[in-house]
């Protein structure tokens, strides 16, 4: 039997797409085997130059270790390589898209036998996460931020029909998933709108939690905030990508808001849900970001008090306007600024976790490592509890916070 292994890099959409490829290969009677794959697929990310570099490093390492293995590059990085007409000697096939026809073409080109008698049955979703599962409801982006290559690679925006998304969500719940994370390249542009979809999803019996992935602040409207605040299945967590706390830099990035607009949305969320987690993405070292500009960002971060950051050092992406902007920032300055932002993140993530000390919260346990159960609360507080009880994985449990340790909350079982 032909064996395969898929590794996905990058965002939740990339993780989801990798799982879809794996499921289709299993339907074609291929067997997953990480140690001895005949076919290795890297589902690559192109959001930064470092991500592209990492993809190539992994491909070279696989080729050195597994000389006879067929190597396929998939995902956004495959689209970028194809767009640039680039040749990567170690790669046997590019798989920019994961539709059935593209996978059939790949298997034929690589001389892999197709043994699926009924192609129409490829509708089952066997996601690898044991607790949280990703549900892609949207793809494509029309925003074209000046630094981002993704909009150039993903194409036109597309929204999944509500009934189709609900059907897959039911499959996920039947497989044992307790929490679903709605994801997409631009989730806030879901059509007709997110709230009708969310209201249908919350009707699914056995689904305990619904979490939103990244959504632009300008797309967080009153009806969405009200749903999150009032639905018993909604996670009180908004990931709002900021990118910069300086209006001059936001304008250069072609972001569709100013800092005052962003702040207004955060204040509205916190007025409705004082304990909601607000997390974000930040880019440091964007072209022409002066020390004064960076200080504005630091001041804004101190004001907003995000509970978690994803920090990216600006990376040139050929084909984007920012790549040719003057006054590019040195790597040394980017690293220094990233370190300074990380210090702010550590301080506020600790304070957010500490807020839940001596409080009862609900945790979905996901992993058991070295005598510690680990999982997340509805407010996206990373929690851990001493235990060796494997049966508690994928269980919702009421716990009490004992002590904040970094960004984590050490907990114990709650007793009535």
pLDDT tens by residue, 122-177: 333 444 445 789 999 999 999 999 999 998 898 899 999 999 999 999 999 999 99
Cα 45 to Cα 49, 99, 166, distances in angstroms: 9, 18, 27
- What are the C-alpha distances in Å from 279 to residues 5, 8, 233, 282, 290? 32, 23, 20, 10, 25
- Distance from chain centroid for Cα 284: 20
Per-residue pLDDT for 304 more than 50? yes
Confidence check: pLDDT of 119 > 50: no
Q: Are strands 158-159 and 179-184 parallel, antiparallel or unpaired?
A: unpaired
Residues 270/237, Cβ–Cβ less than 8 Å? no
When mean pLDDT is compared across 17-26, 244-253, 258-267, the lowest value belongs to 17-26
Neighbours of 335 (CB within 10 A): 13
Q: Under 8 Å CB-to-CB from 109, ≥6 apart: which residues?
A: 93
Residue-level pLDDT at 28:
86
Given this model, what pLDDT does residue 124 score? 39
Q: How far apart are CA 40 and CA 8, in angstroms?
A: 11
The model carries a pTM of 0.88
pLDDT category at 115 given cuts 50, 70, 90 is low
Phi, psi of 184 (to 5 degrees): 175, 175
CA separation for the pair 169, 179 (Å, rounded): 10
User: Residue 149 has which token pair?
Assistant: 């290559």
Burial class (CB in 10 A: 0-12, 13-18, 19+), 272: middle
Per-residue pLDDT averaged across 305-330, rounded? 95
Order of all β-strands in the sheet with 277-284 = 237-239, 277-284, 308-313
């Amino acid at each position: 039997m032909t064996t395969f292994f898929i590794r996905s890099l990058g965002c939740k959409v990339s993780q989801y797409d990798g799982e879809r490829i794996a499921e289709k290969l299993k339907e074609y009677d291929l067997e997953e085997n990480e140690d001895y794959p005949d076919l290795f697929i890297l589902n690559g990310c192109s959001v930064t130059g470092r991500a592209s570099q990492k993809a190539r490093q992994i491909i070279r390492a696989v080729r050195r270790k597994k000389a006879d293995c067929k190597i396929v590059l998939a995902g956004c990085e495959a689209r970028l390589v194809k767009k640039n007409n680039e040749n990567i000697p170690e790669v046997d096939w590019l798989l920019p898209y994961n539709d059935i026809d593209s996978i059939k073409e790949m298997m034929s080109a690589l001389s892999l036998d197709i043994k699926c008698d009924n192609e129409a049955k490829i509708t089952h979703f066997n996601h690898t996460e044991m607790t949280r599962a990703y549900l892609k409801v949207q793809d494509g982006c029309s925003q074209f931020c000046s630094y981002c290559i993704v909009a150039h690679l993903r194409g036109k925006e597309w929204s999944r029909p509500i009934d189709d998304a609900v059907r897959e969500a039911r499959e996920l719940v039947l497989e044992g998933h307790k929490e679903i994370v709605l994801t997409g390249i631009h989730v806030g542009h879901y059509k007709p709108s997110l709230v009708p979809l969310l209201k249908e999803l919350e009707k699914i019996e056995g689904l305990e939690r619904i979490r939103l992935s990244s959504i632009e602040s300008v797309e967080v409207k009153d009806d969405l905030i009200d749903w999150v605040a009032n639905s018993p299945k909604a996670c009180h967590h908004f990931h709002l990508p900021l990118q910069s706390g300086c209006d001059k830099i936001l304008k250069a990035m072609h972001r569709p808001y100013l800092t005052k607009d962003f702040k207004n949305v955060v204040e509205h969320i916190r007025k409705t849900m004082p304990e909601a987690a607000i997390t974000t993405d930040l880019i440091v070292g964007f072209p022409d970001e002066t020390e004064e500009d960076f200080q504005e960002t630091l001041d804004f971060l101190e004001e907003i008090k995000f509970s978690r950051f994803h920090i990216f050092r600006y990376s040139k992406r050929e084909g984007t306007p920012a790549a040719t902007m003057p006054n590019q920032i040195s790597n040394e300055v980017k690293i220094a600024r990233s370190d300074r932002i990380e210090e702010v993140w550590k301080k506020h993530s600790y304070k957010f976790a500490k807020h839940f000390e001596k409080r009862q919260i609900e945790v979905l346990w996901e992993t058991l490592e070295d005598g510690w159960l680990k999982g997340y609360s509805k407010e996206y507080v990373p929690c851990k509890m001493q235990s060796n009880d494997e049966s508690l994985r994928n269980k919702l449990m009421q716990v009490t916070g004992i002590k904040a340790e970094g960004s984590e909350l050490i907990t114990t079982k709650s007793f009535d």
